[in-house]
Structure 1
Amino acid sequence: MANTLVHTDFHFEGQKSVYHGKVRDVYNIDDDILVMVATDRISAFDVVLPKGIPCKGQVLNQIAAQFLDATADIVPNWKLATPDPMVTVGLKCEGFPVEMIIRGILTGSAWRAYKEGCRELCGVRLPEGMRENQRFAEPIITPTTKAASGHDENISKEEIIAQGLIGKDDYETVERYTRALYKRGSEIAASKGLILVDTKYEFGKRDGKVILMDEIHTPDSSRYFYADGYEEKLEKGEPQKQLSKEFVRQWLIEHDFMGKPGQQVPEMTDAYCESVAERYIELYEDITGKHFERNDQQGVDLAARIETNVKNYLKTR
């Protein structure tokens, strides 16, 4: 039986509130810092699936921490510390209600829309004659609203500014940061034989400064292709070998689930969940170049370990 963390109910000193998101639980400490726990929950089509994935939270947290450190010279970010393999502690910011999605390749939901005749995405005109998994001439930014529940909605730069979701000056800063982060992430991926296909970033403000928040460049927020064989597969119209959560979405689609009313999530066996864990670990090792040390051994109380580590960290502040 897999050892996973799918729910938390901590009570830390100075705790003001807790937010249970789709896959992360965020604890507000003194309205000053956040303790973000990356659980092993997994979501697809904006639905939290019924079983957790072993090591998923650890993989996401450790990849995000590494990339936050690797981009801190170009974009200020919220991270202060990682007191546990599944936890990041950082600055509390006033988040913008928008996710900044940047795409270097036409695939996923953008391709599905394109195939159905869509030639404008979030105010960005798309050229005719593109193929699935083809690179854009330049990466495009396709923001979405950040829904508290349900589906996020596509939105254009002009609509974001007109609706006051982000002020014009702040939006231009966020857009500049988005491109710089994607460029750095793509360079790191290329050095590991990967292509950073698309990804999303979240930003907020603290003390008047725009700050990068949340996780970045993880398989939950990003899609990677293997560079080796990319051109050949593109020419032949073959599926790309990829490292992302898209394989989970495809598995669900094959089992007639896309998050629509009345659809049933297919059975997630322990063997299937472990196979997903192996894909997450593969991405970790490929993108970081490091061996992954599993921290989900049977008999380990993941919640108790996290509680102890976080409490010890908070005592040092």
Structure 2
Amino acid sequence: MAQYCMRGAINPHKTLTPKCLSINHSNPLPLSSSLCKMFPPKSKNFPPSISVSASIMSSNQHRHQPPLSLEALKTSERRDEVMNAIQSSLNNCLSETHLDLTVPGLKSKTRGKVRDIYDGGDYLVLVTTDRQSAFDRILASIPFKGQVLNETSLWWFNKTQHIVPNAVVSAPDKNVTIAKKCSVFPVEFVVRGYVTGSTDTSLWTVYKRGVRNYCGNVLPDGMVKNQRLPANILTPTTKAADHDVPVTLDEIVQQGLMTQADYEAASKMALRLFEYGQRVAMEHGLVLVDTKYEFGKAPDGTVLLIDEVHTPDSSRYWISHSYQERFWNGLEPENVDKEFLRLWFKDHCNPYEDQVLPDAPGELVSELAWRYIFLFETITKSQFEISAAEEPIHDRITQNVSQALIALL
């Protein structure tokens, strides 16, 4: 097993046909059919949304704060400040690194979709770049994206140590994490709370094709896009080189990808991590819709959380305050992730088959960069540190990584 660790019109209006939906985001069970008949979707008497965010907004601490909304996201003073920095940095993205040529002691380089991974002997140096990946392709480079992903993951790693230990050793740079080496399980643990998505492996895509048993999960008939599942489900995939493939527990064990004991331990951790992430997101006005986790095993047999956690790259987030109303009105949820960029490419090309893809519009690139930063600030309740546009990012990383490795040796 490989040695590796840590691996405006933005929301389109689409008509849907909502069915019964849970009105309590803290309770995964949907409304009973009798309640749906008693209070049909268009009824003015339909019970109001009761969620964790609503209760928090009524507390003394948040009583006078308006609920999180994309309208505020589009008009805030902070947005103007950040967007100016983003637009000044469009030509200063970290699209590629070559630390094996600039940092003594680093050996081979592995280039992932977003991360460049360097062998540092007993450790791995993971550099999170600004590359934007979707449809198993690189779509664009997004200013500050690598820093956002790295710092968001570090925040979540720190917050989830009570659920599962992780491989983090240090973070010597805004874009860098140094991690313990371990044997990585070649399975991605994808956890989903809603029927949604636009990629070939998304739950909505396979559901609308008629699939009712997905990765060992039996799905009820009659669901519509963006509806909450009766309970969170785990839909693992193999980490194939070109395209992730959905897989069941039996197939994972039969193919020798993991032992049943390791799979069961990791799957329990994944579901607990997701439930915790949903609670934290809801407390901050967000819905954590789905995400993926990766795990590895340390030499002493400990299962470790690796790669990234609850980032806008690995996760889908919606605005909780508007979700229910938009669902009942057949509109796409207000999202704070990269889904709108995925949808733009699907509308303008075949992102799976076209050899050459169109350039992402600058306004969409800037909007995505802002949303990544907004998500970081919303979840962590801290201000994102914006680097100067003229700062030579690769030189900074080289210096910081070199000093960190000297300290570790």
TM over 0.5: yes
2:341 is matched with 248
- SS of match in other structure, 1:42: strand
2:396 is matched with 305
Question: Which of the residues 114, 117, 141 maps onto 1:26?
Answer: 117
CA root-mean-square deviation: 1.3
Q: Which runs of 4+ in 1 moved over 4 A?
A: none
Structure 2: gaps spanning 5 or more residues: 1-89
2-structure distance, mates of 1:293, 1:15: 28
2-structure distance, mates of 1:245, 1:98: 23
Question: Which of the residues 125, 133, 152 maps onto 1:35?
Answer: 125
1-structure distance, mates of 2:134, 2:401: 29
Q: Offset of 1:263 from its aligned partner? A: 5.0
Question: Which of the residues 136, 140, 147 maps onto 1:58?
Answer: 147
1:68 is matched with 157
1-structure distance, mates of 2:187, 2:160: 21
What are the superposed Cα offsets for residues 47-91 of structure 1, whole Å, 9 maximum, x if unpaired? 012x31100101100100100110012101011111111111111
State whether residues 2 and 270 of structure 1, in contact with CA within 8 Å, keep that contact through their aligned partners in structure 2.
Answer: no
Q: Offset of 1:46 from its aligned partner? A: 0.2
Equivalent AA in structure 2 for residue 246 of structure 1: E
Number of residue equivalences: 312
Mean Cα displacement is larger for which, 99-108 or 116-125? 116-125
TM-score (norm 2): 0.74
Equivalent residues in 2 for 1:185-204, closer than 5 Å: 185-204=277-296
- Between the aligned residues of both structures, percent identity stands at 44
Mean Cα displacement is larger for which, 274-283 or 219-228? 274-283
TM-score (norm 1): 0.95
State whether residues 99 and 106 of structure 2, in contact with CA within 8 Å, keep that contact through their aligned partners in structure 1.
Answer: no
Q: 1:209 to 1:284 in 2, by over 3 A?
A: same
2:385 counterpart of 1:293: yes
Structure 1: gaps spanning 5 or more residues: none
Equivalent residues in 2 for 1:1-317, closer than 5 Å: 1-11=90-100, 12-30=103-121, 32-49=122-139, 51-108=140-197, 109-148=202-241, 150-207=242-299, 208-260=301-353, 262=354, 264-295=356-387, 297-317=388-408
What are the superposed Cα offsets for residues 146-188 of structure 1, whole Å, 9 maximum, x if unpaired? 012x111110111101111000110010011101111111111
Q: Larger relative contact order (C-alpha < 8 A, sep ≥ 6)?
A: 2
2-structure distance, mates of 1:185, 1:271: 30
Q: Which has the larger radius of gyration?
A: 2
State whether residues 95 and 204 of structure 1, in contact with CA within 8 Å, keep that contact through their aligned partners in structure 2.
Answer: yes
Equivalent AA in structure 2 for residue 34 of structure 1: L
Which structure is higher in strand share?
A: 1
- SS of match in other structure, 2:245: coil
Mean Cα displacement is larger for which, 113-122 or 268-277? 268-277
